[in-house]
Chain A
Amino acid sequence: MRWKSVPLIAAMLVVALVGAVTVAQDHERGSTPLFNAEDLLFLKHMIVHHEQAVVMSALVPARTDRDEFIRFARYVARAQAAEIASMQSLLELAADRGIDVPDYHAHGDPPMAGMLSSAEMKAIAAASGAEFERLWLEGMVYHHQGAIDMASAQQRQQLATGRQPYEIAVLVEEILVEQRAEIDKMRAWLGEWGLAGRARRSDVAQRAE
């Protein structure tokens, strides 16, 4: 052993101590739950919410001749179906990790704020042509706004707890972005296609009844 090893030993001591602290911190981090109850409830709610968008999108091809509208509906359906699959797998992951996933059964009509009621869905399904386009676009704008509100609430919850839950944080941001852009597009079409201002979305339910 040469004298030059002495500072090396001192350095190694520092390294070891820092490493020990880090390991302790790692251990604490590793024990932090992957998701909390609010995260999981967010996933449960958003799955139900997205499923209605998929159902709505399936109505489009048979009720309009507009190619761009049909393409858009196809795009919305597939994007939301992929997000549903992603959210379901996160719930499965939580269960695999021994995290209690809360039960959630949709009930009520509509099942939650930001969704359309069964009467509204029936009215859209019964319409065609310009009337269908207006009801669908207004309904989907309202529906998307519901998703944005839910995602914003989830983001506030994350901020308050200082967490970036695994994959949910990214999903939330995607929902906020995609659905805002899609609302802009749908509102633009309502104007361009001469459909805006004819009726409010709330009128749909009244007529359906």
Chain B
Amino acid sequence: MTTRLFGEPIARREDPRLVAGDGRFLDDLGAGALAAAFVRSPHAHARIVDVDVAGALDVDGLVAVYTYEDLDGRVAEPLPLLIPHPSLHAPRTAHPLANGIVRHVGEPVAMVVAGDRYVAEDACDRVLVSYEPLPPVVGIDEALRAEHAVHDDVPDNVAAHMVQEVGDARAAIAAAPHRLELNLQIERSASMPLEGKGVYARWDAADRSLRVYSSTQTSTSVRMALAAKLGVPVDRVEVVAPDVGGGFGVKIVHPWPEEVLVPWAAIRLGREVKWVEDRREHFVSAAHERGQRHKVRVGFDDDGRLLGLEVEFLHDNGAYTPYGIIVPIITSTQLLGPYKPGAYRVEFRSLYTNTVIVTPYRGAGRPQGVFAMERTMDAIAERLGRDRAEVREVNFIRPDEMPYDHGLIFQDGRPLIYDSGDYPASLAKLKKLVGWEEFAAEREQARAEGRRVGIGLACYVEGTGVGPYEGAHVRVETNGKVVVATGLTTQGQGHETVFAQVAASELGVPVDDVSVVTGDTRRFKYAVGTFASRAAVMSGNAVALAARKVRAKALRIAGEALEVDPADLEVVDGVVRVRGVPDAEIPLATVAVLANPLRYAFDEQAKQATQFAVGGGAEVPPVADDDEPGLEAAGWYSPVRSTFANGVHAAVVETDPDTAEVRILRYCVVHDCGRLINPRIVEGQIHGGVAQGVGGALYERIVYDQHGQLLNASFMDFLMPYASEVPTVETDHLETPSPLNPLGIKGAGEAGVIPGAAVFAAAISDAEGLWIDRMPISPSELWELRRQKTPKGDA
């Protein structure tokens, strides 16, 4: 009988409550709390002349109205710059309520607290704000032209300028037998989880302690930020991430203005306060991502081998930079994919505009980089008349070249060194899965029938499991149940299941005996958060390490109790037993009892651990110097650097010759994220990522007009795909374990979305014989492109 659960596609432990409607999402909590709502700027850029709250005070049920003038202490200061960087020479963050100036539509100007949300919105309508509109800066061109500035003291609108290079790319390109230059663009999109943000705060005046529930991806970091901002000692602040209805990156930013203001109001009012973001608010005051414009210059030889690659890109970071320049740094480094670039130079400018802030959305800059690289590969293949897969293969880093050092610094501040991966094998699998070799014939056949079909493929490498660390605590209770806690959070990744699988596998207990808590600072205080495809790697390993310590201690204690060498013991189904000796065993529950020397027995079981029952040497203390009571341990995993997953996607599309509609005929994924804790959960993550890739390639685009008004701030006009738009995904996988962590796993959370724009641009290009350099693309845009008959190849 085995209890090895690692690698098993077991059903999820969190599902029973979620399918039954017993989930506890933010708005399901705090039934008696007051409701907060915000007056938000209708202008993209304006000076606030006056805020008149008199009208709001008449609204029945109003409790309080606050403006910037009411903020005190550090709450009146700008929100923190989360990730400083030397290249981010002009960082700027917002105030929780606008301090005299608003810089994007949606920026909060006043907070209203009332009996319920309906009344709060009524009161918001009565707050009269007079603005003096200022010229808005919208789009990369305007930001560059710098006729107007988003921040007065950043006249060129450049927040950051960064160059990374290895070798002399310009010289290499100049000397190369062939050269190409490409101009490419990806438009802005957004994470858009089904549940928006939310904050619910309880201040206990007698105890002087604060508990905040937030729909966040990082409860531990929110805790630190709130303690700092509100002047409450850290040990008196607890932050809990409840069930969270999706994050996809947008909920890693913190503290949001509302995350500061709602607890602040709760303390001032001595009442529970809750804010539940509505959909319109989310569009205009959460975060967006993806908007970049690239210029690529590449030099290559007759085989398509890269000799020099120079990338210059512009990144629209919106009105503020709370998350620093992580997204463009990821673009800069992950653009390289599985290839050796020869000499490489990447330069970017991150620009301010009067729009919503730009922070990571699943993929976090990788989709843009992969788009640039993969379009370049396709262009090289086209120029040379070679197969697009062959051109890629020629440039692959080979397995025997691992670990491969690119000579650059990655988003974790550490060297970009690929640890493992077999790119040729991944590609070979993908080609087989999609029928790459046979496709040319299919394309011809379709053409003869008057149909247009095309195939595209795209490769990517994804740095996952970034540090600095995660930790976990594992405890065996005296009833034999195992309790696991880790500090990072969950938004649907099945952590209650996968971490239980890890713990159960390591300890040798049934998975049903293991419970897992995530994202609750009451249960685990040191953590970083869930983002960058890191949770399974980081907390998975931390759980394993903690569980191994617990197992070792259990075997030691059991060995003493059974009077055998711990090396002869095994744990199966929660029972510690001597290998090969059927009756010599002791339940883990009993070991847990014995692990805590007792004076007082609290039940029958506990009697075994009391001082007269246990005995033991009179010269030896009941708890040794280097030991602790209890069958529990904490484990920490801190990686020397990221571990690199990879994948290849292919799409087959058909375009309608008349309407230019795009139909996805097939979508194939080969991915390698090392060893899989739960294959079904990984596959689910890929399906979801692919759907967002489809969305980002064919449907989703955040559109601002020249006044900085968001034109599609609703689900009617920001087009997330329904089931009718998403294909069935065919997957296959490889497992090249990571040598960097004990479990050999790599992250998988973002894999599905990363090559979306690239693969669809390639497939549509192939079907149409047109060069696609800008995504997303709609049928209307494809039709207009047909009319212009842009030739394939260089500009």
Are the chains A and B members of one assembly? no
Contact surface of A with B, Cβ cutoff 8 Å:
none
